[in-house]
Chain A
């Protein structure tokens, strides 16, 4: 089913995308959720938290609270050393993997 393919692909990479985003800067839930929703990686903020929860349990991310300049206290997520290592490993494997898939799948000759 066509709709299943996109979901299956997202499922496989969304965690690494979270690692990638957090490698730039610590982020809070809404920030992460908006970025991932905008790029079509998750459907709602509800999708994000079970993933974050598991990543925290695995020691890939950690959290801290910080009061914003003119707003509420926010829970920020940041990478741990294990998270950084996991991201590095994903980055190494992703390129060759994507290349192999492209080679194996081939081009769609019936569409542009």
Chain B
């Protein structure tokens, strides 16, 4: 999978890296490529080239990973295979920026799928009461389109609203009493909007809509920022 707009040098560097790390344990090579991809994500060609210079030659990264892997296995006193003392930074900086093919960028939930999640959150409850909405929220939590804080806010806002409305409804019932409540429902001249039970539904729907709208904005603007980001 290639990220549209990803500079050729990034694609080439990542592919070259993947090739160089091929003989390392899968977890190590996945982690290294993942970390480097994270940092090159959304950079323009010039910034990416600078960052790639700092990462260094894929072959050097691979040889260091191999040496560290061998050291960190069982033996504590194995012979050193690292760089000469004092030459650490220099050797990294001097490594040439390598080019080659396409590797996926950080696995971010695509924008269209974020939209699907929001639709399920908003309207899932109409198809399958309660469960449909829950499915939407679970999908939102599994998505990588939002930060953990955003997910908490998006979850707590409707839940707290529901709790507040529930308490208000209980309070109204106990203040008015059953007889008065029934009269309110019957009496055509009393506006129904003064009953928490009636207006609560709309408030709840408005809060959920606002939350979904905010999440949509975050998902869309974050992606835009990222693509045009210059570090």
In contact, A46 and B61 (Cβ under 8 angstroms): yes
Q: Chain A interface mostly helix, strand, loop or mixed? A: helix
- Which of B1-51 touch A at CB < 8 Å? 25, 27-28, 31-32, 34-39, 41-42
Interchain pairs with CB closer than 8 A, number: 134
A47's contact among B37, B65, B89, by CB below 8 Å, is which?
B65
Q: Say whether B62 contacts A49, CB under 8 Å.
A: no
Give the total of B residues in contact with A, Cβ under 8 Å: 50
Q: How large is the interface on A (under 10, 10 to 19, 20 to 34, 35 or more residues)?
A: 35 or more
A71 to B231, CA, bound (A): 11
**In the complex, per-residue mask of A18-47: 1 if CB is within 8 Å of any chain B CB, else 0:** 000000000011100100011010111111
Min CB distance A66 to B, Å, is 6
Is B198 located at the chain interface by the 8 A CB criterion? no
Complex interface: chain A residues within 8 A of B86 (CB): 6, 40
Which B positions have Cβ atoms within 8 angstroms of A? 25, 27-28, 31-32, 34-39, 41-42, 55-56, 60-65, 67-69, 71-72, 79-80, 82-86, 88-89, 91-92, 105-108, 144-148, 222, 225-226, 229
Query: Closest 3 interchain pairs by CB?
Result: A6-B85, A29-B35, A46-B61
